[in-house]
Structure 1
């Protein structure tokens, strides 16, 4: 237990323990038992290490341990890059539990550090860490957003917990509330929205703030107001898009690091950097993006961007305004596959999707079990290798009252189903044999799909299927998806997604190629079936047929 070891080590170094800390009670329960001998041996080994190695040992322990106190420890490589972004400050303020590791690194480098967190146990842990690392760390148990100390620092690191709802706005400074469009009403605010406003209130020369990626594009609540104020303040210098797991190892939520300067200049460009790019990240055996040891995040935001760069881009404020102050990386840094698609479309006649097809958004039909009418509801899991939608596996019963809603999203032969939620980009064509008659047993689609019904004379269902099944098109679609947990494409973005309009000759060619591919797949399935039958006719499968039955 890393926390029990900290109590044992800090107490042996003369620190007076806080007996109200639940970790102290856990330590007391071990004291005097057989397990305490192992804890003493661990403490001796730990304190025999040089100070830098003590921090490395603690970091290694915390990478496989999750605290019950709400404490979120970030790894050494991430903490090191964040400290580098702070650019060797003389004085720094570090806010919230996740900033503790960078705070300790700064203190070990000689920086005067003030660490703030509202959680009493987190503050006690910070004090113990400072003692065992033999560094001075000013620990203040207070809500960092309240800004009880207005002292100006060279740098500030704000790492508020993601998705935390601020219970009351009464402690927030007036300046913070004004940025969020305070109208005197009582409202619940998210930690991300307040963090964006709080960073602007800071008087520090450099501010580093971490937020969940959803705060960069969500259009509800006060987050759009906070983003607009941030951009128009002229203080935003860079945004580093961080893949899930790279900094916060106990969550898969993607995040962003924003860099603000105390200098105001509305003419400057904003540097966007993709930290998931191969030059910055590698994969571990656990599948989590790992920071490459020879990379520099500071250089990524100060060095000139090469025209050929696929991981960084300088974006004018005017472009951000044109995109309604959305600060998601994928709105500005175009993947190579998307660039290829843009080149393809630039040489062809195109239409926005809503002009080429009728867009039908399926609604929930409920979970009825005793209805008089049975229908089949398709899901992305139904889609197979042929491109056609097979008979949907899910059968639901609905009442007469739900039947009208179900009819409005009845699938017709030639419709194309496009997944716009979750597994974004899955696509299938509704076949001719789809059931369409009667009030029962017809096919419909689940809410993960959008139904694309081709308009006469624009583009056929087969051409739509071929277009949306292309990897470059899938990449372009997924670049529009947003969502911290479940990726979703907005109706607005989907309507404006461009599709090419093939000529009559091209339509004939597309359909012939598709039919030929279906025939060849049928031949392959016949061969595979013959192989399986030959296997079943040989030993020991032949003799065991009865047992299997």
Structure 2
């Protein structure tokens, strides 16, 4: 009911305007004012009935200055008026007066309604929080005992804090962004959440003499795609031993530093996938300590600020977990079907939350869940991406391939393409960079289309200079696409950073690079490459996986067949080009410029 009323009081078509959220916050302030008057907690001179637009600023200042309530400055001291057009303020106050006189406002429902509408504002949202279903799932998965101390850092977890408060938990937040919304929610929903406005990473606010406060349960939804210079954080509590760059590690380390029992955090799929440097060491340590309980992949667009696929990680300090549950909640069974006429629809929201909870607790192996051993995780260099452990059955074509295989690294040298930028247009050496678009339909690198002139990057360019017979494997974006460098190629052709160069070693049983190229291009080779694909928003193939790529032992007859097949393919494509040129010639015969 309150949602319908509020949508009639404001124009929802304005939600892309920069002032839309301020309008909602102003409405929240005014409804909080009406609630205080309804409870007879204000002097008679501060009545909201008959409010005039010209007196709004003055009255909010008077409310903020009242000395008998600690929450008034946080609610009314935040000015929302500057950005809102005056005609919108006039309309809002007029509509509010009518709604109050008709007693249409249901006060406890207002905080949730405001938050849902603020979440809809897209890029204009200053105070986005987790959708209800994911907040509910997080509280369900940790299931804190009544009256537990629950910590919710970052603004995104405010919706979790409200759910915990309704479960009679002791809730403590730490919010980097100043807003009246948390205090409006406390007042109208009659909750006692303790809020502190501070950045949890740079300036942690929940302290006790000599240490950080320890909470029973911690829930976190930090901002995505964050990077930190840890040396500039000036951390006095020893939270970040890796000195990491990526925000996921920093956020998890902070959460664990203030947790006694269990924590749950929203992370990007990128941190699960990375297997190098500090990320590798970080995940290795957590696995050895046995505190990772489960990883749950959420639907790809379920959290608006997360471009990468969002996931949940559960950490448990009460029990040693040698194996961890990998769960895929992005499948159709767990995605709710949103009705078109919903007032504030959210894509890919969750359903069947009880199934997720039950299967994780009971450690069931199903089509969307798998208990993965420590040894398996170690074998995969601590890559925890869901697809690596929950893959579809191999295609039937794989059955026809020889069971005797060798890893690609035994047959070929691998050279990873790196970024080479033009840095000296006058005195540098010129190279021609092969891009993915330079690979023809049949798979031949016909030209190198991008000139780069380098000086500083000269050695790097030389290392990835191409030779006839090199195979180029696309490892980023259009993963799995394969190109063959022809016999006639420039001595200054280099591979772009989208490629892995595969250069056949001398003395192997493969007679010609064409044979390996044909296998990698085949349905069998492509099926294996797609199974190795990782990455969230951008698909990737990792070097260590490519090195292990199984190549079937082929007889001389099979290799000759592959080479003959390649000649047939090239002949067919040459005929296609001829017919295309012929068709173009006929078209030009009728009318020409």
Normalised-by-shorter TM-score class: 0.7 to 0.9
SS in 2 for 1:25: coil
Aligned to 1:354: 409
Of 137, 157, 160 in structure 1, the residue corresponding to residue 219 of structure 2 is 157
What are structure 2's unaligned runs of at least 5 residues? 1-19, 37-62, 65-71, 341-345
Contact 1:2 1:62 in 2 (8 A): no
Aligned to 2:450: 394
Of 495, 518, 521 in structure 2, the residue corresponding to residue 445 of structure 1 is 495
C-alpha separation between the residues in 2 aligned to 1:112 and 1:25? 31
Aligned to 1:27: 81
C-alpha separation between the residues in 2 aligned to 1:319 and 1:205? 26
Q: Does 1:36 align with 2:93?
A: no
Kindly state the Cα deviation for residue 361 of structure 1 after the two structures are TM-superposed: 3.8
Of 116, 136, 145 in structure 1, the residue corresponding to residue 173 of structure 2 is 116
Counterparts in 2 of 1:260 and 1:383: CA distance versus 1, 3 Å: same
SS in 1 for 2:207: coil
Contact 2:219 2:264 in 1 (8 A): yes
Counterparts in 2 of 1:470 and 1:281: CA distance versus 1, 3 Å: farther
TM-score of the aligned structures, taking structure 1 as reference length:
0.79
Aligned to 1:93: 151
Contact 2:439 2:445 in 1 (8 A): yes
Counterparts in 2 of 1:473 and 1:159: CA distance versus 1, 3 Å: farther
Counterparts in 2 of 1:533 and 1:208: CA distance versus 1, 3 Å: same
Contact 1:196 1:230 in 2 (8 A): no
How many residue pairs get aligned? The number is 515
C-alpha separation between the residues in 2 aligned to 1:371 and 1:411? 23
Of 267, 274, 293 in structure 2, the residue corresponding to residue 237 of structure 1 is 293
Contact 2:419 2:497 in 1 (8 A): yes
Aligned to 2:519: 467
SS in 2 for 1:327: coil
Counterparts in 2 of 1:203 and 1:471: CA distance versus 1, 3 Å: same
What are structure 1's unaligned runs of at least 5 residues? 182-186, 437-441
Aligned to 2:472: 417
Contact 1:10 1:131 in 2 (8 A): no
Structure-to-structure mapping, 1:159-308, within 5 angstroms:
159-162=221-224, 163-165=226-228, 166=230, 173=237, 176=239, 180=241, 190-218=246-274, 222-242=278-298, 244-247=300-303, 249-267=304-322, 269-281=323-335, 290-294=348-352, 296=354, 297-303=356-362, 305-306=364-365
SS in 2 for 1:161: coil
Kindly state the Cα deviation for residue 313 of structure 1 after the two structures are TM-superposed: 0.8
SS in 1 for 2:284: helix
Kindly state the Cα deviation for residue 272 of structure 1 after the two structures are TM-superposed: 0.3
Kindly state the Cα deviation for residue 139 of structure 1 after the two structures are TM-superposed: 1.6
Of 389, 412, 426 in structure 2, the residue corresponding to residue 332 of structure 1 is 389
Counterparts in 2 of 1:80 and 1:3: CA distance versus 1, 3 Å: farther
Aligned to 2:509: 458
SS in 2 for 1:129: helix
Which moves more between the two structures, 222-231 or 478-487? Answer: 478-487
Counterparts in 2 of 1:325 and 1:394: CA distance versus 1, 3 Å: closer
Output one character per residue of 1:476-534: Cα deviation in whole Å (capped at 9) or x when no partner.
44555666776554433332322223211111222222322332333334444444444
Output one character per residue of 1:114-157: Cα deviation in whole Å (capped at 9) or x when no partner.
242242505x3311233344544322334546452777766431
Aligned to 2:559: 507
Kindly state the Cα deviation for residue 413 of structure 1 after the two structures are TM-superposed: 3.0
Kindly state the Cα deviation for residue 263 of structure 1 after the two structures are TM-superposed: 2.6
Contact 1:197 1:226 in 2 (8 A): no
